[in-house]
Amino acid sequence: MAQQRHAIPPPLKTEEDYIPYPSVHEVLGREGPFPLILLPQFGGYWIEGTNHQLSGAPESPPTPVPGTRAKLEGNHTAKIYRKHFLGKEHFNYYSLDPALGHLVFSLKYDEQEHLHLLLRTRARTLHDVVPISCLAEFPNVVQMAKLVCEDINVDRFYPVLYPKASRLILAFDEHVLSNHFKFGVIYQKLGQTSEEELFGTTEESPAFAEFLDVLGQRVQLRDFKGFRGGLDVTHGQTGSESVYCHFRDKEIMFHVSTKLPYTEGDAQQLQRKRHIGNDIVAIVFQDENTPFVPDMIASNFLHAFVVVQLEQGATQGTLYKVSVTARDDVPFFGPPLPDPAVFRKGPEFQEFLLTKLINAEYACYRAEKFAKLEERTRAALLETLHEELQARSQAMLGLGPDDERPDNGGAAPGFFESFKSLLVPGSRRGRRGSAIGLGSVEEALLVPGKSPSRRRPGPLGSRRSSAIGIESIQEAPAGRDGPAAADGSSSTHSSPESRRNPDRAEKPEPPDFSHSSSSASSFGSAAEEPGEPGRESRSPSGSHRDAFTDTPWTDDPPEIPPGCRPPDSPCPEIKIQLEQPPHNPGS
């Protein structure tokens, strides 16, 4: 039966192509007993548990063997990482496949010489255990991934270097697991065949109250601390009481139709339907023999129903007949119903029923509607995980999010890149500026009293800052209209940057400074050897003065626009004193 439901469904038919099933009113017009469930007139559902005739005494239905537990279904692949990888030595990788999308790969080599491989794609998670003895040689990471999925088409996997990556991967793997469930409980009285009648019931029969005690315990919603399943536990807007159960480390809250608020004059009873109609699985309890049709309740979420009917006339204990129905795209879920599907009231029946409900919800997630929603959610979460692992790993290497090298101008460099830029004179970062504020490696290694290395500036001059804090030192012109420097170039009006350094100041300088008459007026242009032509400025008296000094200024001089100086005002000049370096015969 399960294999038939997994087969490719036939093309969809229109209502004219179906031979309609009899309606519930036609069935009720016949002689009973009636089945617990009727298929809708145009199908779309399957039914399990149609035989409820006891072959022997009605007081002796087949019951589960005491001590046996029905198996809870679920996504067991989501638990593999916690069970086999977390807390053990393993390796994580990430990559991007053009067809499969984002990939996150985990591998572990255990003491039994087995490779545990766990590959996550946007469609599913694949797991395999491969003995090393079956391989001719130890494979690389790409070859290991292809052992799990042959469709992989990547050149390499990138290692995950983030120390807390296991937490991120575990959160992704277990996002499909849940320990909280909510199920609807609908009370169907004799003769009720519509949604309005089902949700309009306000009274509970003794049989229905007894069945609620089988499901769980009654709890007061106000200030309830457990899983509330969307019910109001503060203001009482969803009723004052409900049924709650703690089963196998899972919390279950039941939305009981008769305990949800009833609104006078509202035929649809939206306060009740908005909870039960948004559940995925619901229980229908029948006092007497009235069939339930799945399309009685219009809902886009309800995909499975477990119908329980009280067996009338039982002389030794309470007996329940059970049938299950679900939409055609919902796969079969266990545990299977016995034949006949009749249970005696007791803890075995409670465990069977709760297990059936939980497995029904897991099976409904594989229906077409929920499967597409889960696939989109998984793809988005996997992309987020991939980007997070990539960003964290690159940050550990000092790389920016889009950088392959640390000097591409992305994020701030790491410690090793900053340290290396100070030691390697030819590095690009060392020439631009280091992380600790030095202008360049060459300038940072200048010795006071020594002449810097000879370096001819470009056409526009150099304006790199030096290690002693002087941005640019300019030459003093001969006068407002005096001759230009020897190279004949004109300069723009600018004032030199000043720094306070009273320990090195030899004598105070006048607060007003002249403008530069040379474009080659930076640290590199001024630091030439004495005697080199074109590197001296002349004073009005005609004497040569050096254009470089290590004497700092105390304050920034105000800049005077051209043409604003009084005609008779003498042009101030910069008095500069430079210690002559020792003469090198080889230069």
| pLDDT (tens digit per residue) in 250-292 | 999 999 999 999 888 888 888 899 899 999 999 999 988 889 9
| pLDDT (tens digit per residue) in 487-539 | 444 444 444 444 444 444 444 444 444 443 333 333 333 334 444 444 444 44
Task: Over range 186-205, report the average pLDDT.
Answer: 91
Nearest to 327 by CA among 345, 343, 304, 308: 304
| pLDDT (tens digit per residue) in 383-435 | 999 999 999 999 998 886 555 443 433 444 444 455 445 445 544 444 444 33
pLDDT at 8: 52
| Least reliable range by pLDDT among 34-43, 310-319, 503-512 | 503-512
Tell me the C-alpha distance between 170 and 162, whole Å: 14
Tell me the C-alpha distance between 399 and 409, whole Å: 10
| Least reliable range by pLDDT among 2-16, 93-107, 299-313, 540-554 | 540-554
Q: What is the band of 160 on the pLDDT scale with cuts at 50, 70, 90?
A: very high
Task: Over range 542-549, report the average pLDDT.
Answer: 42
541 vs 317, which has greater pLDDT?
317
Task: Over range 67-96, report the average pLDDT.
Answer: 88
Helix axes 165-173, 368-396, angle to 10 degrees: 180
pLDDT at 208: 94
In a 10 Å sphere around its CB, with 0-12 CB exposed, 13-18 middle and 19+ buried, how is residue 185 labelled? Answer: buried
pLDDT at 189: 92
Predicted confidence (pLDDT) at residue 161 exceeds the cutoff of 70: yes
Q: What is the band of 166 on the pLDDT scale with cuts at 50, 70, 90?
A: very high
Task: Over range 468-484, report the average pLDDT.
Answer: 41
Tell me the C-alpha distance between 149 and 105, whole Å: 11
pLDDT at 398: 87
**Beta strand ranges found along 248-334 (DSSP E):** 250-256, 281-286, 304-310, 319-327
461 vs 214, which has greater pLDDT?
214
- What is the b/e burial string over 352-376, where b = at least 16 CB atoms within 10 angstroms of the residue's CB? bbbbbbbbbbbbbbebeebeeeeee
Q: What is the band of 53 on the pLDDT scale with cuts at 50, 70, 90?
A: confident
Contact present, 155 and 245 (Cβ < 8 Å) = no
Task: Over range 378-384, report the average pLDDT.
Answer: 95
With H, G, I as helix, E, B as strand and everything else as coil, classify residue 381.
helix
Length of the chain equals 587
